[in-house]
């Protein structure tokens, strides 16, 4: 029961209060311009969620190994990237066992999702907080789901700003920066921070 409670608590925290895109600025890049339909967003978000969970499992064991060996935290990022690469290779081979039409579509999103900074960020944040194994899993799952929700909101915001009559100087990138900034403030407000008086 405690395992499930830790998992759910950290998953909800990662989805809302510690959202990868809006509170940590992790994971958005050129994919906003390439992945822009509902099904594509779900497949891409599903890949990110799968990889954050698997990388969290690897990250937990790698953190335990680094601690047991007495290595400093300066090696963590390199070791985590190697662990993420191994997870990517395993997922790539697992996808190659599926039928060709499914594996060819999924492999296109796999490399984008595997080396997304949201995946590395979730493992690094979990290690910095000294989470337990269920907390690693919950934070990894929540980061993936929160990333998918936030990514959908960003793509939808981009689509709507393109359809609206904005002044020429605000079209494109400036409108998206303002939109993401306002959404970030909204998510930042969820965490209960007080404004200075």
Q: How many residues are given for the chain?
A: 197
Under DSSP, the state recorded for 195 is P
Q: DSSP for 96-149?
A: HTS-HHHHHHHHHHHHHHHT-HHHHHHHHHHHHTT--HHHHHHHHHHHHHHHHH
* HSE value, Cβ hemisphere, 13 Å, CA-based, for 129: 15
What pLDDT is attached to residue 32?
A: 61
Q: What is the mean pLDDT of the chain?
A: 82
What pLDDT is attached to residue 169?
A: 83
Average pLDDT over residues 17-44: 73
pLDDT higher at 65 or 23? 65
The CB density around residue 113, as the number of other CB atoms within 10 Å, is 28
What pLDDT is attached to residue 174?
A: 84
What are 103-148's pLDDT values in tens digits? Answer: 777 777 888 888 888 888 888 888 888 888 988 899 999 998 988 8
For 99: left if phi > 0, alpha if psi spans -120 to 50, otherwise beta; the answer is beta
Whole-number Å distance between alpha carbons of 149 and 183: 12
The owner of tokens 């997304």 is 116
Query: Which structure tokens are listed for 197?
Result: 């008086």
Say if residue 64 is exposed, middle or buried (CB neighbours under 10 Å; 0-12, 13-18, 19+): exposed
Q: Where are the chain's structural domains?
A: 2-190
Query: Which structure tokens are listed for 36?
Result: 């822009």
pLDDT surpasses 80 at 49: yes
pLDDT surpasses 70 at 185: yes
Sequence-distant (6+) residues with CB within 8 A of 39 are none
Query: Which structure tokens are listed for 180?
Result: 């993401």
Whole-number Å distance between alpha carbons of 126 and 59: 8
Confidence class for position 54, pLDDT limits 50, 70, 90: very high
């Amino acid at each position: 029961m405690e395992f499930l409670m830790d998992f759910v608590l950290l998953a909800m925290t990662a989805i809302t209060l510690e959202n990868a895109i809006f509170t940590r600025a992790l994971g958005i890049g050129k994919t906003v311009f390439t992945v822009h339909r509902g099904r594509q967003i779900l497949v891409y978000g599903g890949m990110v969620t799968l990889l954050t969970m698997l990388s969290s499992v690897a990250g937990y064991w790698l953190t335990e190994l680094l601690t047991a060996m007495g290595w400093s935290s300066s090696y963590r990022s390199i070791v985590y990237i190697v662990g993420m690469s191994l997870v990517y290779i395993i997922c790539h081979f697992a996808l190659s066992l599926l039928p060709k039409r499914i594996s060819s579509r999924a492999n296109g999103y796999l490399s984008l999702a595997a080396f997304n900074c949201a995946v590395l960020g979730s493992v690094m944040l979990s290690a910095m907080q000294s989470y337990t194994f269920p907390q690693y899993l919950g934070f990894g799952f929540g980061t993936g789901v929160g990333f998918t929700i936030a990514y959908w909101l960003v793509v939808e915001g981009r689509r709507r700003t393109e359809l609206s009559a904005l002044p020429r100087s605000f079209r494109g990138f400036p409108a998206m920066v303002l939109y993401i900034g306002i959404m970030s403030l909204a998510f930042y407000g969820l965490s209960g921070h007080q404004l200075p008086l």
